[in-house]
Amino acid sequence: MKRYILHRVALAIPTLFLVSVIVFALMRFMPGDVATRMVEGHAYAPTLKALRHDLGLDRPVHVQYFDWIGGIVLRGDFGQSYWTRQPILEEFVRRFPVTLELAALTILVSVVLGVAVGIVSAVRQDSASDYVGRVLAILALSVPYFGLAVLVVVLPSIYFKWTPVWTYVAFSADPLANLKIMLVPALVFGVTRAGPIMRIMRSALLDVLRQDYIRTAWSKGLGERTIILRHALKNAMIPVISLIGLQAPLYIGGSVIIESIFRLPGVGLFFFEALTRLDYPVVQSVNLIIAAMVVGLNLLIDLSYAFLDPRIRY
Amino acid sequence: MRSWTRASATSREPALAGARVAGGAVTLPARRPESTRPWWADVWIQMLRRKPLGTMGSVIVVVMLVAAVLAEWITPYGFAQTSLRERFISMNGAHWLGTDEIGRDLLTRLIYGARISLYVGFGAVALGSVLATAIGMLSAYFGGRLDLLLQRGVDAWMAFPPLLLLMSIMSMLGPSVWNITIVLGVAFGIQNSRIVRGVALVVKEHTFVESARALGAGHLRTTLTHILPNVMPTLIVVATTGLSTVILTEASLSFLGLGVPPPYPTWGGMLSLAGLDHMYRAPWLAIWPAVALSLAVFGFNMLGDALRDLLDPRLKGG
């Protein structure tokens, strides 16, 4: 186990190094130019040259790269925003709980819905409820979450005179008010993500229910509830967990859109605002931090298989 | 969707593609003895008989294709034709789906939107399929250090949340139809090169590849005429299922203002936050683009699912 973890961490290092090179190269070699925009639109400095010098953009590219990556590796310093001069890590840490809460609630909604409907569909295969469940899953797969989010924002306010709350309240300040705000975005995002989970839950459970140990359980005289919930479900959860792991990057990408629709001050909104201002260090560092999280999450998920299925050993 | 069938999940030869894997050995693809039809005709017949949802998906896709191609002839208005006297008109005989904040006909814009979606979708998937085949086959065929190097690159690319990376690239390049097609194509190619590599690794081990080499076929000939035809069914499946993802991603980027720039009408752009204030006044501006986008994604999803079941059951659930 310990050796396996070390091995995986060692493999992650070259991956993250390449990730850092890719984001850095993107920011420097693509046509957009932050300095021009800062001087022309916002008069941050008298001349382009002065600003470039100020930001260190006049140095050779490899010096800039090692300055950035060296700061992260040696000092844990992720740099600061060009526009606000605020340290990036601090801002990221401040906003991360919002995004994490959104992701956690979304996953909760989609797993509860997907697993419940999936179990019913599999256990009552080819019945009316199976059919309804499958149609709902296909619908959920087809409706884009941002379209649904816009409809949820617009339609109730026209027809029911009800609007989702727009001003964000921190969880620590007022947990109940905070949950009220997060509920609608999490429901919208979660419902559209439940489709694939339901489909994979259903097919995995059907697969498990045909195995010998389930037949043994039936012939021992166990009840249906015990067989499904205690014996079959744990095994059938493995593909579901790996799907959630595979989809984790989608939750992060989606949070950019969801946060900008519902005005949640999370990492997604931070990233999007930085993008529209071509704030190189913010875009680079946020991309790198999130990529590192994705790599770490995948490792955690691989380790969780051993818990769910004791036959798996590392 | 039907449950997993043990036989097809374990067998190396998928139901219909099997004919080609087994028969692609030297020259002609083997046909089933009673059938003189080409293999793709069999696929469509199976689709009509056994896959009602897949058939429905194909109908939606065909309708979309026809609408997109004939947009100039079936719409009475231009997609950027404004009429300030006819702002925010709800559904009526002249404007079936109403008009927007500067009096442009919504139905016209939706139909032209289908054209952009398909243009970007097919363009990106075509480019991506070529790229995926190139990377995947190179990696699988030559193996060794080249494989290791290419795969670490793919690993790094896959560590990014796709939307974040695409947003970063598009914000640097600036929104345009060309840029988004190329960027989505490259992303599609790199992601799916894994699948092509997986299939090519299996095909490479067949004896017919060894025989071809022994008969003196060069690397190019071996890969293109012996391995590629056997990778083809998988590639078709990957491309069809990928179309809905690409269309949805284009819509997400256009929604954020990073995809196709105005005045081109795109479904994602029509839904975007920029028009939110108008939607409170004219809810149809939000409803119809969302419906169009959902229908298109539904159509391509169902078509892709059905084709996957018919062509390559090994990919099921993947």
pLDDT given for residue B18 in this prediction: 40
Q: Does A6 touch chain B if contact means CB atoms closer than 8 Å?
A: no
Q: Binning pLDDT at 50, 70 and 90, where does residue B318 land?
A: very low
- To the question of pTM greater than 0.80 for the whole model, the response is yes
Statement: residue A125 has pLDDT above 70:
yes
Statement: residue B14 has pLDDT above 50:
no
pLDDT given for residue B317 in this prediction: 44
**Contact partners, residue A221, CB within 8 Å, separation at least 6:** none
Alpha helices in B205-283 (DSSP H): 207-214, 219-221, 228-255, 267-271, 276-281
Which residues 192-251 of A have a C-beta within 8 angstroms of B? 199-200, 203, 206-207, 239, 249-250
Question: Residue B171: which of A134, A276, A294 has the nearest Cβ?
Answer: A276
Instruction: Give residue-wise pLDDT tens across range A65-77.
Output: 888 888 888 888 8
CA-wise closest residue to A81 among A91, A71, A72:
A91
Q: Is B229 exposed, middle or buried, given 0-12, 13-18 or 19+ CB atoms closer than 10 A?
A: middle
Q: Residue B50: how many CB atoms within 10 A of its CB?
A: 13
Question: Residue A151: which of B153, B174, B287 has the nearest Cβ?
Answer: B287
Tell me if A305 sits within 8 A of A238, measured CB to CB: yes
The distance of Cα B247 from the centroid of its chain, to the nearest Å, equals 7
**ipTM greater than cut 0.90:** no
Record: contact A18-B293, CB cut-off 8 A: no
CA-wise closest residue to B168 among A38, A303, A19:
A19
Could you say which DSSP state residue B45 is in? H
What is each CA distance from B133 to A41, B129, B228, in whole angstroms? 45, 6, 8
Q: Does A25 touch chain B if contact means CB atoms closer than 8 Å?
A: no
- End-to-end CA, chain B: 14
> Which chain A residues are closer than 8 Å to B283 by Cβ?
154-155, 158
Rounded Cα–Cα distance for residues B35 and B18 (Å):
15
Q: In chain A, what percentage of residues exceed pLDDT 90?
A: 16
pLDDT given for residue B315 in this prediction: 56
Alpha helices in chain B (DSSP H): 6-10, 17-23, 39-50, 52-69, 71-74, 106-142, 144-159, 162-173, 177-204, 207-214, 219-221, 228-255, 267-271, 276-281, 284-311
The sign of the torsion formed by the CA atoms of A289, A292, A293, A294 equals positive
Q: Binning pLDDT at 50, 70 and 90, where does residue A248 land?
A: confident
Instruction: Give residue-wise pLDDT tens across range A4-23.
Output: 778 878 878 888 888 888 88
Tokens of B295: 């229908």
Residue of chain A nearest B6, judged by CA positions: A207
Record: contact B276-A153, CB cut-off 8 A: yes
**B91 or A145, higher pLDDT:** A145
* Mean pLDDT value of segment A162-170: 72
Residue of chain B nearest A163, judged by CA positions: B280
**Contact partners, residue A312, CB within 8 Å, separation at least 6:** A305, A306
Q: Residue B241: how many CB atoms within 10 A of its CB?
A: 20
Record: contact B161-A290, CB cut-off 8 A: yes
How many CB pairs (< 8 A) connect A and B?
159
Amino acid of residue A47: T
Tell me if A274 sits within 8 A of A263, measured CB to CB: no
Amino acid of residue A9: V
Statement: residue B190 has pLDDT above 90:
yes
**B311 or A186, higher pLDDT:** A186
Tell me if B194 sits within 8 A of A302, measured CB to CB: no
Residue B105 bridge partners (DSSP): B99
Instruction: State the virtual CA torsion across A258, A263, A264, A269 in degrees, nearest 10.
Output: 70
Tokens of A91: 């801002």
The sign of the torsion formed by the CA atoms of B104, B109, B112, B118 equals positive
Statement: residue B248 has pLDDT above 80:
yes
CA distance A169 to chain B (A): 22
Q: Is A72 exposed, middle or buried, given 0-12, 13-18 or 19+ CB atoms closer than 10 A?
A: middle
Question: Residue B152: which of A14, A257, A287 has the nearest Cβ?
Answer: A14
HEC-encoded secondary structure of chain A: CHHHHHHHHHHHHHHHHHHHHHHHHHHHHCCCCHHHHHHHHHCCCCCHHHHHHHHCCCCCHHHHHHHHHHHHHHHCCCCECCCCCCEHHHHHHHHHHHHHHHHHHHHHHHHHHHHHHHHHHHHCCCCHHHHHHHHHHHHHHHCCHHHHHHHHHHHHHHHCCCCCCCCCCCCCCCHHHHHHHHHHHHHHHHHHHHHHHHHHHHHHHHHHHCCHHHHHHHHCCCCHHHHHHHHHHHHHHHHHHHHHHHHHHHHHHHHHHHHHHHCCCCHHHHHHHHHHCCCHHHHHHHHHHHHHHHHHHHHHHHHHHHHHCCCCCC
Instruction: Give residue-wise pLDDT tens across range B112-167.
Output: 988 888 999 999 999 999 999 999 999 988 888 888 888 888 888 888 888 888 98
Tokens of B123: 């363009």
Question: Residue B293: which of A147, A239, A271 has the nearest Cβ?
Answer: A147
